[in-house]
Copies of this chain bind each other. A is one copy, B any other.
Amino acid sequence: MSELRFDPIRKRWVIIAPERKMRPFAFCERDEAEEGECPFCEGKENLTPPETFAIGPSNREANSPGWRVRVVPNKFPALRPDINFEIGESRYFKILKGFGYHEVIIETPRHDYPLWERRIEEIRDMLIAIRERIKFFYQDVRISYVLLFGNYGRGAGASLSHPHSQIVALPIIPEIIENEVRAGRTHYLKNKRCLICDILSEELKSGKRIVTQTNGYIVWEPYASSHPFETWILPENHECDFSVLDNNELKKTASVLKETLLRINKFLKNPPFNLVLHTAYNLKYATKNEKDIVRNSYHWHFEIISRMSHIAGFEWGTGININPVSPEEAANCLREVDL
């Protein structure tokens, strides 16, 4: 059974997950990959655990063909919902039993059909599935945060090549989200405005790190990008919560996501990349005051990082990434891509 353990020295959580079924000589994620039949292709629904959500015709039977997007539990989950939520604490060590959810979003029934080649409606359907799962998980009082992430390409950690992303519902708020929330809160309490809104309004003036502004979104290379061509997609109008977007709005989101990945893919020639969604933590059970602050100070966004540089000893030892490409150069390159 996996465990969330809190490191008393470095003050951070890790997940110890022996259930990921990795053995000393088979650590790479790719070793999980079945090389034969793809369990995510249409018609192979029996090769996955039963679906938890799907988009398709209303007369379709669960776990049968005909779906456009399908969500299933991860076969090698980092966290599981059938574990009692339980906190343990000894003198120095804090532990949470591995309660949570870990699901796979099968983005399309077609095996060789990357996101940037899909029709806007198909990408929108994937975003609808993400929205619905976030809403579902946030009903659960034990869930504090839901992370959507995609690993595309082997170099980005993908185990199966069929387009899929993953969603993990956690009983804690992860450190990076907490940092973002804290920075936003501090700025908001002082200025009564959102930090990211304020930064973006300055950034739009200079324009040098802006890739594009379209369909209600700003595509931005952050000032302190950790990776080459790190790219954020942020709603122009302040909103803390991805899951409030309606289907019409998600069509615009889909269009910007497609265009941005097309730019990256054209310029960098099909790089492995990770996509993550940062949205507000679970506010359903928060106090009114906390809700007000987070709603006004957190700004949801997508982050895309292309995986062309290695994390090595320096990054591990310091927490500081070395990025050989300035965001100004990256923005310039991506802006000029011929779509």
Residues of A within 8 A of B (CB): 5-18, 20-22, 24-25, 27-29, 78, 91-93, 145, 147, 149-151, 156-158, 165-166, 168, 170, 174-177, 179-180, 182-184, 195-196, 198-199, 202, 222-226, 228, 267-269, 274-278, 303, 305, 308-314, 316-327, 329, 333
Contact = CB atoms under 8 A, between A and B. Distances in A.
B321 A177 contact: no
16 contacts: A7-B224, A8-B183, A9-B180, A10-B224, A11-B179, A16-B327, A18-B325, A18-B326, A78-B314, A93-B224, A149-B313, A151-B312, A156-B313, A174-B318, A276-B313, A278-B317
A276 B317 contact: yes
Chain A to chain B: the 4 pairs with minimum beta-carbon distance, closest first: A157-B312, A149-B313, A27-B308, A276-B317
Copies of chain A in the complex: 2
B166 A324 contact: no
Overall SS of chain A's interface: mixed
Contacts of A327: 16
Contact of A316 (B158, B276, B323): B276
Contact of A312 (B8, B15, B149, B222): B149
Given A9-B180, A175-B319, A177-B318, A313 B16 contact: no
Contacts of A183: 8-11
Given A175-B320, A198-B92, A226 B14 contact: yes
Contacts of A320: 12-15, 170, 174-175
A13 B10 CA distance: 17
Contacts of A308: 27-28
Of A27, A309, A327, chain B has the most CB atoms within 10 Å of the CB of A27
Nearest to A305: B316
A93 B202 CA distance: 11
Given A5-B224, A11-B179, A25-B269, A311 B314 contact: no
A147 B314 contact: yes
A11 to B, nearest CB: 5
A304 to B, nearest CB: 10
Contact of A274 (B13, B29, B313): B313
